[in-house]
Amino acid sequence: MDQTYAFLMELVKPRALIFSFVFVGALTWLCYQFSTKITRGRVHGSAVAIVVGLILAFVGGMLTNGKRGIADIPMFAGFALMGGAMLRDFCIIATAYGVRMEELKKAGLAGVLSLVVGTFVAFVVGVVIAYAFGYRGTVDLTTIGAGAVTFIVGPVTGSALGASSDIVALSIAAGVVKSIAVMILTPFLAKPFGLTNPAAAMVYGGLMGTTSGTAAGLAATDPRLVPYGALTATFYTGFGCLVCPSICYIIMRMIFG
């Protein structure tokens, strides 16, 4: 057993980052298979992967009494770089560059307004829930509120404001819960919300925001509506990353000091 572990360490250690990409790729594939065959697409593969990732991070931290999750295990040290600020910010910027403003114009005024309203409503709800659970720090409240926007906006805001790792993890969890809730509830809300046409789907995507949740929910409702809902939802993360660490934080400072 020791010889096998030593061989694996000798193989993986010089290629830690490559191994982390291979591991995440294989894990993501398994999670999407689970989504397709077990949940029949009702829970998106990305949400399954995020939950599994959080569990692995927790287990890694518990086993090593460390602070970097699974990256504290020597074999998985490459996750410290893969999950670090550099590659995270690169992914966010790459996503933003993939968005075309002319596509947003197709959503019209209703789509733009839904984007703004959806972002600020989600933020306020997140802040209220965090406050109800006893959090009082401005940075903590802002980070958790941003997590309620999406599970990407939360850690981006937390990093910008210097939030602690447990608050950042909580913001990610809040975003994942929202994403899964949107996936599950969308088919049931489709009829009362009038999700029967592309215009309604674009407004819904702007209000809900979570791309994975909106896409999976609309796919279970009417696959033809997915591109329209994803159109406005795509802008949601970028808009949240822009306003939560700046405008929202300034407003929170004015309220809570």
CA distance 151 to 103: 24
pTM, entire model:
0.70
How would you write the pLDDT of the chain (257 residues) with one tens digit per residue?
A: 567 767 777 777 778 888 888 888 999 899 889 988 887 776 767 778 877 887 887 888 888 877 777 777 777 888 877 877 677 667 666 655 655 566 566 667 777 888 889 999 999 999 999 999 989 899 999 999 999 998 888 988 998 898 888 899 899 889 888 888 887 788 777 778 788 888 788 888 888 887 777 877 787 778 788 877 877 887 888 888 889 999 999 999 999 87
Which ranges constitute the DSSP H helices of 74-164?
79-82, 85-97, 101-132, 138-149, 153-161
In sequence order, which residues have a C-beta less than 8 Å from that of residue 168 and are 6 or more positions away?
143, 154, 155, 158, 159
Domain boundaries, the chain: 2-83, 103-256
Cα separations in angstroms, 234 against 18, 25, 117, 206, 213: 29, 22, 15, 9, 11
CA distance 255 to 257: 6
